[in-house]
Amino acid sequence: GDSVTQMEGPVTLSEEAFLTINCTYTATGYPSLFWYVQYPGEGLQLLLKATKADDKGSNKGFEATYRKETTSFHLEKGSVQVSDSAVYFCALSVGNTDKLIFGTGTRLQVFP
């Protein structure tokens, strides 16, 4: 069945370091792909999305490119800040029902 696999955390970085969080997926058909972020004590917020192959989603300095050939949607940011500390979830949509399948989440900790 459809699934999402993302790298285990925590990912610990110093401020201004480069961030990559890996995400790969298995899906029938052509899913849309998402990154959601969860700040401490809050619900999830959409960070970015891509709906077809080679699309690049971007927001707040984060980017991810939909790579159909490698079934990947890795999240990157050139220079992280302490305020980026959160849990990041990769997800894909299933069919036309708006249902989402989530990865297990990756905790990012950024230190000054």
Partner 1 sequence: DAGITQSPRYKITETGRQVTLMCHQTWSHSYMFWYRQDLGHGLRLIYYSAAADITDKGEVPDGYVVSRSKTENFPLTLESATRSQTSVYFCASSDGRGMTQYFGPGTRLLVL
Place of tokens 């990756």: 106
Residue 40 as a binder of partner 1 (CB under 8 A): the answer is no
Residue 58 as a binder of partner 1 (CB under 8 A): the answer is no
Residue 57 as a binder of partner 1 (CB under 8 A): the answer is no
Return all residues near 18 (Cβ < 8 A) that are at least 6 apart: 76, 77, 78, 79, 80
Nearest to 11 by CA among 67, 91, 76, 101: 76
Candidates 50, 66, 105, 110; binder of partner 1 (CB under 8 A) is 105
Interacting residues with partner 1 between 13 and 32 (CB under 8 A): 32
Say which DSSP state 99 is in: E
Q: List residues near partner 1 by CB under 8 A.
A: 32, 34, 36, 42-46, 49, 51, 89, 93, 97-105
